[in-house]
Structure 1
Amino acid sequence: MKNSQCLASSIAVMKYSGVWKPDGLSYRGEIAYKIFGFVTQVLFFYFIILAEIGYVFTFLDNVERMVDAAVLLLSHLVQAVKVMTIILRQERIKRMIAMVDGPAFTKSDPKLKTILESATRLAAIVGNIVLCSACTTSIFWGIVPALNPELTLPLRTAYPFDIHGTFIFPAMYAYSSISVTVAGVGDAAENFLVSGLFTLASAQVDVLREELKAIGADGCTDNFKKATLCVKYHQRIIRYVEEMADIFGLPMLCQFVTTSVVICMTIYKITVTQEPVEMVTMVFYLMCVFMELLMYCYPGDVLLNKSLLVSEAAYPNDWSGDKQTSRVLLLTALRAQRPLAIDAGGLFRVCLPTAAAVVQTSYSYYALLRQQLAKE
Structure 2
Amino acid sequence: MLLTSSWKPSAAAADDVSDLDYLLKILHWSGTMRHPHAGPWASRAHYLINAFSTVALLLFICSQAVLLWRDGAADLERFTLSLSVLDTTSVFMIRLRHIAALEADFHRLAMQERRDFGEFLSADDLRLVHLRSRSIRRVVSVYLLSGVFTSIVYAATPISAEGLPFILALPYDATRPLAFAATWLYSAYIVFSVDIGTMAADSFNITLMVQLRNQLDLLSRNLRSLNDSVSPTKPTSFQTHSIKNIRSSEDLSHDIHYRLRKSVLHHQAIIRNVELLEQCLGRMLLGQSLSIGVCFCFQLFQTAKRSNGVQEVGKTSSYLVIVLSLLFVYCWYGDDLISESEKVALSAYDAVTSLQECPTSTKRSLLLLMLRAQRPLRITAGGFFSLSRESFVSVLNVSYSFFTILRNFNDE
Counterpart in the other structure of 1:3: 17
Please give the TM-score of this superposition, normalised by the length of structure 1.
Answer: 0.92
Q: Once the 2 structures are TM-superposed, how far is the Cα of residue 246 of structure 1 from its aligned partner?
A: 0.4
* 1:72 to 2:85 alignment: yes
Aligned-partner Cα distance in 2 for 1:108–1:364 = 47
Residue by residue over 1:32-90, the C-alpha shift from the partner in whole angstroms, topping out at 9 and shown as x without a partner, is: 542332123322x3322222222222222221111121222212222222211211211
Question: Counterpart in 2 of 1:361?
Answer: 398
- Counterparts of 1:267 and 1:121, CA distance in 2: 35
Equivalent of 1:46, from 50, 58, 75? Answer: 58
User: For the residues of structure 2 that align with 1:108 and 1:225, how far apart are their CA atoms?
Assistant: 14
Whole-angstrom CA distance in 2 between matches of 1:235 and 1:103: 11
Alignment of 1:249-328 (within 5 A): 249-273=282-306, 274-315=308-349, 316-322=352-358, 323-328=360-365
Deviations 1:343-364 (A, max 9, x none): 2212121111111110001110
Separation of aligned partners in 2, 1:51 and 1:151: 15
The Cα of 1:206 is off from its aligned counterpart by 0.7
Pair 25,144 (structure 1): closer, same or farther in 2 beyond 3 Å:
closer
Query: Which whole-Å CA distance do the structure 2 matches of 1:18 and 1:118 have between them?
Result: 31
1:351 aligned to 388, 404, 407, which one? 388
1:229 CA displacement: 1.4
- What is the CA distance between 1:93 and its match in structure 2? 0.7
The structure with more radius of gyration: 2
**What code does the residue aligned with 1:83 have?**
L
Report the alpha carbon displacement of residue 107 of structure 1 after superposing the two structures with TM. 5.6
SS at match of 1:22: coil
Mapped to 2, the partners of 1:215 and 1:280 lie a distance apart of 56
For structure 1, the 5+ residue unaligned runs are none
Residues matched between the structures, number? 371
Please tell me whether the aligned partners of residues 78 and 254 of structure 1 are also in contact (alpha carbons under 8 angstroms).
Answer: yes
Report the CA distance shift for 1:151/1:163 in structure 2 as closer, same or farther (over 3 A). Answer: closer
Q: Any conservation in 2 of the 1:201–1:303 contact (CA below 8 Å)? A: yes
Q: 1:374 to 1:242 in 2, by over 3 A?
A: same
Bigger Cα displacement from structure 2, 160-169 vs 307-316: 160-169
Determine if contact 1:17/1:41 at 8 Å carries over to the other structure.
Answer: no
Letter in 2 for 1:371: N
- The equivalences for 1:154-303 within 5 A come to 154-219=165-230, 220-221=252-253, 222-273=255-306, 274-303=308-337
Shift of 1:19: 2.1
Deviation at 1:281, TM superposition (A): 2.2
Report the alpha carbon displacement of residue 276 of structure 1 after superposing the two structures with TM.
0.5
Structure 2 match to 1:30: 43
Residue 30 of structure 1 deviates from its aligned partner by 3.5
% same residue? 24
What amino acid does structure 1 have at the position aligned with 2:184?
Y
Q: Which moved more, 1:354-363 or 1:175-184?
A: 175-184
Q: Which amino acid aligns with 2:109?
A: M
What is the TM-score with the length of structure 2 in the denominator? 0.85
Q: CA RMSD in A?
A: 2.0
Which secondary structure state, in structure 2, belongs to the residue aligned with residue 145 of structure 1?
coil
Whether the aligned pair in 2 keeps the contact of 1:105 and 1:204 (CA below 8 Å) is: no
Shift of 1:337: 0.5
Kindly indicate whether the alpha-carbon contact (under 8 Å) linking 1:311 and 1:336 is maintained by their aligned counterparts in 2: yes
Corresponding position of 1:57: 69
Q: Which runs of 5+ in 2 are unaligned?
A: 1-12, 231-251
1:300–1:342 CA contact under 8 A, matched in 2 = yes
